[in-house]
């Protein structure tokens, strides 16, 4: 028989023994240790019924699904619920059975247990079952500590935990159960005045963060661990400033939200990274809505090997699609994401397709054979300076590729088409932005007469994507500098890759067609401030250890990117981080003609002509949009209201990181 069977039998045996002992102890306490013959007879008759009732309730109400190794305070509710039915049953019998009652030849007086015995037995059984599991947990923790420490004792470094909340307690417990990590917690740091001096999970709250310099000297610390599940960026920067003044090394726990939920163990404490300074709260998805949108569907992701596309694939897999078709023209990138997904989701049908979205026969073949129901279009040329040098390629990929893909989705009656766009498409100054804006216009116009729900999701820069500013800055720091920044006033919106991918899926699940969704990017970040923070996080000083030089604004770049147009009339959705704009689209025939003229530029050898013509075509559409908005201004005013105009302005408000 399996070890699971033996373990389950052992659990039942322990609880049965606890029940017998609790029943006996209750009678001994009630009768002060003197049990008469009738009382012993009553106990003997009732014992089998009681043990059966207790074990049955434990089984039905989930007690045996709780792992003894991880039993905690949240599990006490289950034990209380499991204990209550049997206790309530015997209480009913105590008051409901009249003296000398006989039923089917059974003398029911045996069930008339003294009230104090019923109460004592229930309490003792609850304490006994919980106590047995706690004892088992303590035993396992001790054994684990002995195994982890090994034959050679690991020297324990003293550390402080910053944050004495729920996350801090979980981090403390995990660290203490892992002596092999070589960390010894001397206490908590917390700015909550109500916690100061308190003992939390055996550790004292020694003071606020202002006391960190004194405590670091007192306990000879060389680093601290920040254990706050949801810390605002301003507080993170304040803590880092204190650590830098000592100096002391700050670290964080990766996946702190998952750690709080109990799905991740603490085995990789790491240094603070720039993402932590943004202080962006975790995304709360409407998982039921997204699951209904993606679950059981055939889904194609273009650009599946890119930074955004690959994360889109990871997020999609969580919701159990019928199949996931990966479209990517770079073989190595496709190989890597396919291998990762197959390892993580071995039962999911994953179909890798080496393909270019501008290759009409190849893409038509994919749609004919796979019949995707959801198209997530993440493939695009994205680097602004590179597209300034190669404008015809931007038109070919971003405009023609999007048009062809959207038409295939319409022709094959896909349910949803989601185009991922960029803030650079708003009042574009660059070839890349203009090409994405033209793609937006075409997708929006196609939605007017299609059964496919076409929608666009627009956001700014994502942290850590291939070729983005942070990896470049890190390489420059590793090389000893200098860090090159184009302009001291350059600002950009930033969000993390997983956050962007999750919000794209959430927005796509809400759309009815024709919308442009805009993700809440938080506050824009000054690029020079980003460079300074990265230098500090590397343990160096800006301008002293690593120089920052300004190279001038590159062709096509703007000092500040906007996230929406005035006439899009952004309004709130049911999700706090997603806004929607649904202005009246331009005539489909007019947009199709503009796209046709754009595509004629693909074979134009003169880059200057391509650039000027493309931007002019987009600006003409912009002028038409403004004229249309002016004509229906009163209607728009009544529909959107002043609060929406204020929201649009707020999303474009240029604030600094510091």
pLDDT tens figures, 433-480: 999 999 999 998 898 889 999 999 888 777 666 656 777 887 888 888
Residue 643 is predicted with a pLDDT of 34
Residue 201 is predicted with a pLDDT of 77
Q: Torsion angle, CA of 476/477/483/488, rounded to 10 degrees?
A: 140
> Does the pLDDT at position 540 exceed 80?
no
**How does DSSP assign 435-476, residue by residue?**
HHHHHHHHHHHHGGG-SSEEEEEEE-EEET-TT-HHHHHHHH
To the nearest 10 degrees (0 to 180), the angle between helices 527-537 and 233-245 is 50
| Mean pLDDT of the region 30-34 | 86
Give the confidence band of 408 by pLDDT, cuts at 50, 70, 90: very high
> Quick one: 97 exposed, middle or buried, by C-beta within 10 A (0-12, 13-18, 19+)?
middle
Type and span of the H or E element at 595: helix 588-599
More confident site: 250 or 656: 250
More confident site: 410 or 1: 410
Q: Which residues lie below 8 Å from residue 630, measured CB to CB, with a gap of 6+?
A: none
The encoded tokens of residue 250 equal 């700050």
How far apart are alpha carbons 250 and 225 in whole angstroms? Answer: 6
> Does the pLDDT at position 258 exceed 60?
no
Contact status, residue 473 vs residue 530, Cβ threshold 8 Å = yes
Domain ranges of the chain: 3-147, 157-272, 292-458+508-518+560-641
Contact status, residue 301 vs residue 326, Cβ threshold 8 Å = yes
- Range in 83-97, 409-423, 492-506 the model is least confident about: 492-506
> Does the pLDDT at position 637 exceed 50?
no
How far apart are alpha carbons 485 and 529 in whole angstroms? Answer: 10
Residue 264 is predicted with a pLDDT of 41
Give strand pairing partners of 300. 325, 375
| Mean pLDDT of the region 129-135 | 88
Of the candidates 582, 571, 418, which has an alpha carbon nearest to the alpha carbon of residue 501? 418
Contact status, residue 83 vs residue 126, Cβ threshold 8 Å = yes
How far apart are alpha carbons 221 and 158 in whole angstroms? Answer: 6
How far apart are alpha carbons 17 and 199 in whole angstroms? Answer: 36
* N-terminal to C-terminal alpha carbon distance within the chain: 64
> Does the pLDDT at position 245 exceed 60?
yes
How far apart are alpha carbons 531 and 538 in whole angstroms? Answer: 11
The Cα angle at residue 416 between residues 410 and 421, in degrees rounded to 5: 95
| Active-site residue, 424 included | yes
Q: What is the mean pLDDT of the chain?
A: 79
Residue 585 is predicted with a pLDDT of 67
Give the confidence band of 270 by pLDDT, cuts at 50, 70, 90: low
The encoded tokens of residue 455 equal 């929608």
Contact status, residue 309 vs residue 277, Cβ threshold 8 Å = no
The residue annotated as part of the active site, out of 152, 195, 396, 424, is 424
Residue 163 is predicted with a pLDDT of 85
How far apart are alpha carbons 420 and 308 in whole angstroms? Answer: 9
Give the confidence band of 639 by pLDDT, cuts at 50, 70, 90: very low
Residue with tokens 């998952």: 258
> Does the pLDDT at position 628 exceed 50?
no
Domain topology for 292-458+508-518+560-641: Rossmann fold (3.40.50)
**How does DSSP assign 127-149, residue by residue?**
HHHHHHHHHHHHHHHHHHHHHHH
Residue 641 is predicted with a pLDDT of 36
> What confidence tens digit (pLDDT) does each residue in 428-439 have?
888 999 999 999
Give the confidence band of 362 by pLDDT, cuts at 50, 70, 90: very high
Do domains 157-272 and 292-458+508-518+560-641 share one topology? The answer is yes
Residue 632 is predicted with a pLDDT of 36
- Range in 165-174, 260-269, 537-546 the model is least confident about: 260-269
> Does the pLDDT at position 619 exceed 90?
no
| Mean pLDDT of the region 111-137 | 87
Q: Percent helix, strand, coil in the chain (nearest 5)?
A: 55, 15, 30
Contact status, residue 244 vs residue 536, Cβ threshold 8 Å = yes
What homologous superfamily does CATH list for 157-272?
A: NAD(P)-binding Rossmann-like Domain (3.40.50.720)
How far apart are alpha carbons 69 and 194 in whole angstroms? Answer: 32
The encoded tokens of residue 287 equal 């998982």
Give the torsion sign (CA, 540, 543, 546, 550). positive
Give the confidence band of 330 by pLDDT, cuts at 50, 70, 90: very high
Residue 370 is predicted with a pLDDT of 94
How far apart are alpha carbons 567 and 563 in whole angstroms? Answer: 12
> What confidence tens digit (pLDDT) does each residue in 198-240 have?
888 778 889 888 888 888 888 888 888 888 766 766 777 788 7
Of the candidates 206, 226, 221, 219, which has an alpha carbon nearest to the alpha carbon of residue 161? 226
Q: Torsion angle, CA of 409/412/416/421, rounded to 10 degrees?
A: 0
Contact status, residue 89 vs residue 53, Cβ threshold 8 Å = yes
- Range in 33-47, 283-297, 548-562, 643-657 the model is least confident about: 643-657
Give, in order, the Cα–Cα distances in Å from 34 to each of 29, 30, 94, 121.
9, 9, 22, 17
> Does the pLDDT at position 18 exceed 60?
yes
**How does DSSP assign 247-312, residue by residue?**
T-EEEE-TTHHHHHHTSS-S---EE--HHHHH-PPPP---HHHHHHHHTT-EEEEETTTSHHHHHH
Contact status, residue 519 vs residue 500, Cβ threshold 8 Å = yes
To the nearest 10 degrees (0 to 180), the angle between helices 37-60 and 115-149 is 50
> Does the pLDDT at position 145 exceed 70?
no
């Amino acid at each position: 028989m399996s070890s699971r069977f033996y373990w389950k039998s052992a659990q039942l045996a322990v609880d049965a023994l606890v029940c017998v002992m609790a029943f006996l102890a209750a009678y001994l306490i009630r009768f002060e240790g003197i049990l008469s013959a009738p009382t012993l007879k009553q106990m003997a008759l009732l014992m089998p019924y009681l043990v059966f009732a207790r074990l049955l309730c434990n089984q039905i109400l989930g007690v045996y699904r709780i792992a003894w190794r991880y039993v905690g305070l949240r599990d006490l509710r289950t034990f209380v619920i499991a204990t209550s039915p049997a206790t309530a049953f015997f209480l009913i019998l105590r008051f409901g059975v009249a003296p000398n009652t006989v039923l089917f030849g059974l003398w029911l007086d045996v069930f008339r247990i003294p009230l104090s015995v019923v109460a004592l037995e229930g309490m003792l059984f609850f304490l006994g079952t919980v106590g047995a599991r706690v004892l088992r947990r303590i035993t396992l923790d001790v054994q684990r500590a002995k195994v982890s420490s090994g034959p050679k004792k690991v020297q324990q470094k003293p550390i402080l935990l910053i944050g004495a909340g729920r996350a801090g307690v979980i981090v403390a417990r995990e660290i203490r159960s892992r002596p092999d990590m070589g960390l010894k917690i001397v206490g908590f740091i917390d700015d909550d005045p109500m916690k100061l001096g308190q003992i939390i999970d055996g550790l004292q709250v020694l003071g606020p963060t202002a006391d960190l310099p004194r405590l670091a000297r007192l306990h000879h610390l060389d680093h601290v661990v920040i254990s706050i599940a949801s810390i605002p960026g301003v507080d993170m920067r304040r803590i880092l400033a204190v650590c830098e003044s000592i100096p002391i090394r700050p670290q964080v726990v990766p996946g702190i939200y998952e750690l709080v939920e109990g799905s991740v163990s603490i085995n990789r404490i790491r240094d603070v990274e720039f993402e932590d300074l943004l202080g962006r709260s975790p995304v709360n998805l409407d998982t039921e809505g997204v699951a209904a949108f993606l679950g059981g569907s055939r889904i194609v992701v273009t650009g599946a090997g890119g930074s955004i596309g690959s994360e889109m694939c990871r997020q999609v897999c969580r919701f159990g699609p019928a199949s996931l078709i990966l479209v990517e023209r770079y073989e190595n990138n496709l190989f890597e994401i396919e291998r990762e997904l197959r390892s993580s989701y071995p039962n999911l049908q994953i179909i890798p397709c080496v393909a270019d979205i501008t290759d009409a026969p190849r893409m038509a073949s994919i749609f004919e054979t796979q019949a995707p129901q959801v198209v997530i279009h993440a493939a695009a040329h994205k680097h602004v300076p590179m597209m300034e040098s190669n404008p015809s390629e931007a038109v070919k990929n971003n405009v023609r590729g999007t048009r062809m893909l959207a038409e295939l989705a319409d022709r094959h009656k896909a349910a949803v088409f989601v185009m991922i766009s960029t803030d650079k498409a708003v009042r574009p100054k660059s070839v890349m932005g203009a090409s994405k804006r033209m793609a937006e216009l075409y997708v929006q116009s196609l939605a007017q007469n299609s059964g496919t729900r076409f929608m666009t999701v627009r956001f700014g820069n994502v942290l850590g994507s291939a070729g983005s500013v942070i990896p470049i800055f890190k390489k420059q720091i590793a090389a000893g500098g200098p860090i090159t920044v184009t302009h001291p006033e350059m600002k950009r919106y930033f969000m993390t890759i997983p956050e962007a991918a999750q919000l794209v899926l959430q927005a796509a699940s809400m759309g009815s067609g024709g919308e442009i969704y805009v993700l809440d990017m938080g506050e824009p970040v000054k690029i020079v401030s980003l460079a300074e923070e990265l230098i500090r996080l590397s343990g160096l000083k800006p301008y002293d250890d690593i120089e920052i030089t300004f190279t001038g604004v590159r062709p096509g770049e703007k000092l500040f990117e906007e996230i929406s147009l005035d006439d899009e009339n952004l309004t709130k959705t049911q999700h706090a981080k997603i806004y929607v704009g649904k202005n009246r689209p331009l005539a489909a025939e007019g947009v199709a003609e503009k796209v046709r003229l754009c595509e004629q530029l693909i074979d134009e050898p003169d880059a200057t002509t391509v650039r000027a013509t493309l931007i002019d075509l987009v600006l003409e559409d912009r002028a038409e949009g403004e004229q249309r908005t002016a004509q229906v201004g009163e209607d728009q005013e009544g529909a959107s209201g002043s609060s929406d105009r204020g929201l649009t302005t707020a999303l474009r408000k240029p604030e600094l990181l510091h």
